[in-house]
């Protein structure tokens, strides 16, 4: 740091410490005496008025002492609050604003440095992806780890190269597998060979379970087409014309009841 050293001890001086002369010990003894006397009273109908007087007197003492305490606090705090206002204006706020501006400038520089670092790693990853023939399988950013300015660039490049080599070996292994197409589809999801193989195995097991069950066969049988000769056209509903007629019936009472029941079953309206 350039410039003269700031001597805080000489620039901020407390000329006189606040002195509070208190006689709380004497007051405390008197309060104890009055409380003891008040609590010793029996609270009966006859002594209730006197007990109230003692209570009112104690509350009055408390209020007076509280008022005095607040006055003392105000007298002590006012000089400090005045100092704090001047301190904030002349020192603290200036330093805080300077810190904010400098941080923004540093962030701008570090963002540019980080972006330059990332671009260098992307070009490095592209070269190795092309070398292993993986440029159609992977994007460079997929193999770039989390970048911070504190991380060594050489170490990051070694990490990227190792990741690309691992993926290349996994794909070579997948190429020898029986279900290589299914495995590759699963592998490119997260580039984890073990998980990809487990997912393919699990799916194959599910397919085997379905094929060994009767579910598909039963559904196929239900979906078999119906023979043309088995198809029966639905009957066409024709609304018949209502005809009104009058006739005379000679029958016994029992026969008439049967005729009435027959007409009701047919749904014939009659009067």
pLDDT tens-digit map of 151-186: 899 999 999 999 999 999 999 999 998 888 899 998
Please state which of the ranges 129-143, 223-237, 240-254 shows the lowest mean pLDDT. Answer: 223-237
Query: In the prediction, which pLDDT does 95 show?
Result: 92
Rounded to 5°, angle at Cα 12 from 11 and 15: 115
139 or 15: whose pLDDT is higher?
A: 139
Q: What is the total residue count of the chain?
A: 271
47 or 267: whose pLDDT is higher?
A: 47
Query: In the prediction, which pLDDT does 73 show?
Result: 87
The pLDDT confidence band at residue 218, using thresholds 50, 70 and 90, is low
Indicate whether 234 pLDDT > 60. no
| Token pair listed for 107 | 């962030």
pLDDT digits (tens, 9 = 90+) for 88-137: 998 899 999 999 999 999 999 999 999 999 999 999 999 999 999 998 88
Indicate whether 6 pLDDT > 70. no
| Token pair listed for 108 | 């701008």
CA distance 144 to 7: 50
Query: In the prediction, which pLDDT does 239 show?
Result: 63
Q: Above pLDDT 90, what percent of the chain?
A: 31
CA distance 271 to 267: 13
Mean of pLDDT over the chain:
82
Q: Which helix (H) or strand (E) holds 266?
A: helix 253-266
Q: Which helix (H) or strand (E) holds 213?
A: none
60 or 262: whose pLDDT is higher?
A: 60
Q: What is the pTM of this model?
A: 0.53
Closest CA to 192 of 166, 161, 159, 157: 166
Q: Which residue has the tokens 């070398």?
A: 131
Answer yes or no: are the C-beta atoms of 183 and 197 closer than 8 Å.
yes
CA distance 154 to 151: 9
Query: In the prediction, which pLDDT does 194 show?
Result: 92
CA distance 185 to 229: 49
């Amino acid at each position: 740091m350039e410039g003269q050293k700031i001597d805080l001890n000489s620039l901020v001086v407390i000329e006189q410490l606040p002195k509070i002369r208190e006689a709380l010990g004497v007051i405390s003894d008197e309060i104890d005496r009055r409380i003891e006397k008040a609590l010793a009273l029996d609270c009966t109908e006859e002594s209730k008025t006197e007990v109230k007087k003692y209570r009112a007197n104690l509350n009055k003492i408390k209020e007076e002492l509280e008022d005095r305490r607040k006055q003392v606090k105000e007298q002590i705090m006012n000089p400090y609050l005045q100092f704090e206002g001047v301190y904030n204006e002349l020192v603290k706020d200036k330093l805080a604003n300077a810190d904010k501006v400098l941080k923004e400038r540093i962030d701008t520089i570090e963002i540019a440095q980080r972006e330059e670092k990332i671009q260098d790693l992307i070009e490095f990853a592209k070269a190795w992806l092309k070398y292993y023939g993986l440029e159609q399988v992977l994007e460079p950013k997929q193999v770039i780890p989390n970048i911070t300015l504190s991380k060594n660039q050489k170490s990051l490049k070694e990490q990227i190269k190792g990741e690309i080599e691992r993926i290349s070996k996994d794909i070579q292994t997948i190429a020898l597998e029986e279900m290589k197409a299914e495995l590759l589809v699963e592998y490119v999801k997260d580039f984890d060979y073990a998980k990809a193989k487990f997912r393919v195995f699990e799916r194959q097991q599910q397919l085997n379970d379905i094929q060994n069950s009767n579910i598909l066969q039963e559904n196929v049988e239900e979906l078999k087409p119906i023979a043309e000769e088995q198809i029966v056209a639905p009957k066409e509903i024709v609304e018949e014309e209502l005809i009104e007629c009058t006739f005379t019936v000679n029958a016994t009472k029992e026969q008439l009841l049967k005729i009435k029941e027959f007409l009701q079953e047919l749904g014939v309206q009659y009067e």
